[in-house]
């Protein structure tokens, strides 16, 4: 009796089957193809998620100015009542960091200058930094990425007019490199032209900017001076333990961290250097950023002579 065959070609191989076997073989092929398609759809799903995540974090690649170990861009939001917020976003390569407004014992102090005749005033809102202690001293840094919101007050700004931002900052990897970046941008009078993602990024960053406490809790009990080998040193005494303390920059003095690293602190030591020889005859106002249980607060203290 004559037998009928059908042919299956797969991966370059030819196989002959009886027609009676065709149904089972076709079922096997269908199941196998469904699994293959499922794997393909899952892979495409992962790729799509990756692309969407990159867009959320990075925005358009056209926005970025690339530098050594880093890239920087400006994100903007709409103007409301003569005020607007922009964000200076810095992305850092792995194992790279840049400096806070006060870089610490050493490092490159950053500066941001905005130029436009219609900008009355602007304020830079620095996020809380990380503490870095090593054999070179203590530094206050940002790792991975940082978004620095800037509040701008505008008067008679002509939309589309150039605003120039000059930024000097340092990035450290194997070596520390000073970077100067100038970015020219414009504001738009149409809210629909602003990205919702950019607006949310700025608003979320503003929520994390440290501020003074509203509950009248004070951490600093006293600050006392003492001399060791002719250097002026000071010790901060706290009302309760804190996790970390960061001195803000001052035009009148410089504080160098002189404290060994601990988990909690009831007091903290700095070396004090004044830019004024008669500083001990005047009131000295000091401002600190204090960390307690993952929260950051600003606190002032005035030292009387």
Q: What string of pLDDT tens digits covers the 305 residues of the chain?
A: 444 444 444 545 555 544 454 445 454 444 445 554 444 444 444 344 333 333 333 434 458 999 999 999 999 887 777 888 999 999 999 999 999 999 999 899 999 999 999 888 999 999 999 999 988 899 999 999 999 999 999 888 888 889 999 999 999 988 999 999 999 999 877 655 566 788 889 999 999 999 999 998 999 999 998 876 656 899 999 999 999 999 999 999 999 999 999 999 999 999 999 888 777 678 899 999 999 999 999 999 998 86
The domain ranges of the chain are 5-58, 62-208, 220-303
Domain 62-208 has CATH 2.40.50.140: no
Angle at 38 between CA 34 and CA 40, to 5 degrees: 115
In sequence order, the β-bridge partners of residue 76 are: 86
Q: What's the pLDDT score for residue 257? A: 96
* Contact by Cβ (8 Å): 165, 74: yes
- Sign of the dihedral defined by the CA atoms of residues 22, 24, 27, 32, in that order: negative
Angle at 146 between CA 142 and CA 152, to 5 degrees: 125
């Amino acid at each position: 009796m004559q037998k009928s065959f059908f042919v299956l070609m797969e991966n370059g191989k030819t196989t002959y089957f009886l027609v009676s076997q065709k149904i089972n073989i076709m079922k096997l092929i269908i199941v196998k193809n469904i699994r293959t398609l499922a794997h393909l759809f899952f892979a495409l799903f992962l790729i799509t998620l990756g692309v969407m995540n990159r867009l959320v974090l990075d925005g358009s690649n056209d926005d970025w100015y690339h530098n050594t170990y880093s890239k920087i861009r400006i994100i903007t939001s709409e103007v409301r009542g003569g005020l607007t917020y922009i964000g200076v976003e810095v992305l850092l390569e792995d194992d790279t960091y840049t400096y806070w407004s006060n870089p610490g014992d050493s490092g490159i102090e950053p500066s941001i200058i905005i130029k436009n005749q219609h900008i009355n005033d602007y304020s830079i809102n620095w996020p809380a930094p990380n503490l870095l202690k090593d054999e070179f001293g203590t530094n206050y840094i940002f790792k991975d990425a940082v978004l620095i919101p800037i509040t701008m007050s505008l008067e008679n700004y002509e939309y589309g007019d150039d605003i120039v931002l000059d930024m000097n900052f340092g990035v450290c990897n194997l070596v520390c490199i000073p970077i100067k970046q100038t970015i020219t941008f414009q504001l738009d009078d149409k809210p629909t032209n602003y990205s919702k993602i950019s607006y949310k990024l700025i608003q979320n960053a503003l929520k994390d900017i440290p501020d003074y406490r509203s509950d009248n809790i004070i951490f600093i009990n006293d600050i006392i001076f003492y001399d060791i080998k002719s250097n002026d040193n000071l010790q901060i005494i706290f009302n309760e333990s804190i996790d970390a303390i960061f001195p803000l920059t001052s035009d009148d003095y410089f504080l160098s961290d002189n404290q060994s690293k601990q988990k909690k602190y009831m007091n903290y030591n700095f070396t004090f250097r004044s830019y004024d020889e008669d500083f001990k005859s005047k009131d000295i106002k000091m401002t600190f950023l204090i960390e307690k249980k993952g929260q950051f607060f600003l606190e002032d203290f005035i030292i009387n002579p």
